[in-house]
């Protein structure tokens, strides 16, 4: 990865490590691209949130920036009518299954969804789509944090740090399709699971699903 290549993103020439994924190349140079599941430390991109679409010259369709390696001479645009349309729909789909109620959320003001909405001028409100959120009880059992599944966007960052950084294995994805969610084994509350309450997962949650309690008290 020592070789450098020159690429163009939004008319800016950048020198980045060859093979670096476009998402990180852009972010490192102050160019924002919406993303939720993208996680630099994770070896294989999940490519699940479908928010980081960009146009790459020569590609017939927009591609996800988290999976696209930088190649010498590549010309990238973070915005285009097609990209904006895909990002808008993906964003609306995500908030159609995310309990909004920002005023009462511990992450209000520090939320990746709010950031995306601001960057791309999207409404934090459903206009076209139906509300799919199911009320689920908040897991308040840990001392210092709580887990609200109805705010989870399934980015998987918490699962990744739990498995690879904390190396605890308390949580994982369960079920399929629309029922997919992050849960403990056997769906017990966190204190009844292997969770050590290290809090690593809370630090990486981009939204208000995993939040520290003192943050909520603030």
Partner 1 sequence: MSDSALVVEQNYEQLKNLALQKHGEIKEKPYVLVGTATCGRAAGALGVLDTFRNEIDNRQLDVNIIEVGCMGHCYAEPMVIIYKPGFPPLCYGSVDEGKAARLVTDFLIEDDPCFEFAMAALEPNDLFPTFGDYPRGVYEQKVILADCGLIDPENIDDYLACGGYGALAKALAMKPEEVIAEIKDAQLRGRGGAGFPTGIKWETCHDTPGPLKYVICNADEGDPGAFMDRALLESNPHQVLEGLVISACAVGASQGYLYVRAEYPLAITRLHTALEQARAKGLLGESILGSSFSFDIEIFKGSGAFVCGEETALIASIEGHAGIPTHRPPFPAVSGLRGKPTLIDNVKTLSYIPHIVQKGADWFKSIGTPNSPGTAVFALAGKVVGTGLVEVPMGTTLRTLIYDVGDGIKDGKTFKAVQIGGPSGGCLPESALDISIDFDSLREAGAMMGSGGIVVLNEDDCMVEVARFFLEFVQNESCGKCTFCRLGTKQMLDILTDITKGHGRPGDIELLLDLAEDIKTGSLCGLGKTAPNPVLTTINFFRHEYEAHINEGRCPALMCKDLITFHISAEKCSKLCDACVGSCPVEAVYTRPDMLKAIHLDKCVKCDNCLTTCRTLYDAVIKKSPPAAEEGVS
Residues forming the site for partner 1 (CB under 8 A): 44-51, 53, 61-62, 64, 67, 82, 85-86, 89-90, 93-94, 96-97, 128-130, 132, 154, 173, 175-180
Shortest distance, position 67 Cβ to partner 1, whole Å: 5
* Closer residue to partner 1, CB minimum distance, 55 or 145: 55
Shortest distance, position 95 Cβ to partner 1, whole Å: 10
Integer Cα distance of 165 and 158 in angstroms? 10
Shortest distance, position 143 Cβ to partner 1, whole Å: 31
* Closer residue to partner 1, CB minimum distance, 90 or 202: 90
Q: Give the chain's largest Cα–Cα span.
A: 53
CB atoms within 10 A of CB 101: 12
Shortest distance, position 166 Cβ to partner 1, whole Å: 20
* Closer residue to partner 1, CB minimum distance, 122 or 198: 122
Residues 6+ apart with CB under 8 A from 112: 35, 36, 206, 207
Computed from CA positions of residues 156, 61, 70, 89, in that sequence, does the dihedral angle turn out positive or negative? negative
Is there a contact between 30 and 39 (Cβ–Cβ < 8 Å)?
no
């Amino acid at each position: 990865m020592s070789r450098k290549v020159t690429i163009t993103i939004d008319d800016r020439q950048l020198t980045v490590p060859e093979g670096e994924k476009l998402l990180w190349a852009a972010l490192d140079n102050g160019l924002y691209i919406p993303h939720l599941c993208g996680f630099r430390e994770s070896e294989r991109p999940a490519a699940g949130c479908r928010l980081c679409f960009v146009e790459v010259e020569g590609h017939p369709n927009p591609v996800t920036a988290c999976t696209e390696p930088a190649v010498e001479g590549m010309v990238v645009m973070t915005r285009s009518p097609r990209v904006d349309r895909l990002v808008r729909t993906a964003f609306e789909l995500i908030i159609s299954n995310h309990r909004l109620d920002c005023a009462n959320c511990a992450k209000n003001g520090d939320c990746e969804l709010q950031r995306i909405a601001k960057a791309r001028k999207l409404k934090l409100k459903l206009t076209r789509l139906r509300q799919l959120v199911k009320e689920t009880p908040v897991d308040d059992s840990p001392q210092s944090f709580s887990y609200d599944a109805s705010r989870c966007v399934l980015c998987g960052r918490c699962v990744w740090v739990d498995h690879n950084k904390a190396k605890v294995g308390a949580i994982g994805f369960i079920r399929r399709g629309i029922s997919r969610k992050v849960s403990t084994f056997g769906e017990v509350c966190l204190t009844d699971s292997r969770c050590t309450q290290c809090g690593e997962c809370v630090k990486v949650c981009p939204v208000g699903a995993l939040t520290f309690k003192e943050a909520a008290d603030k």
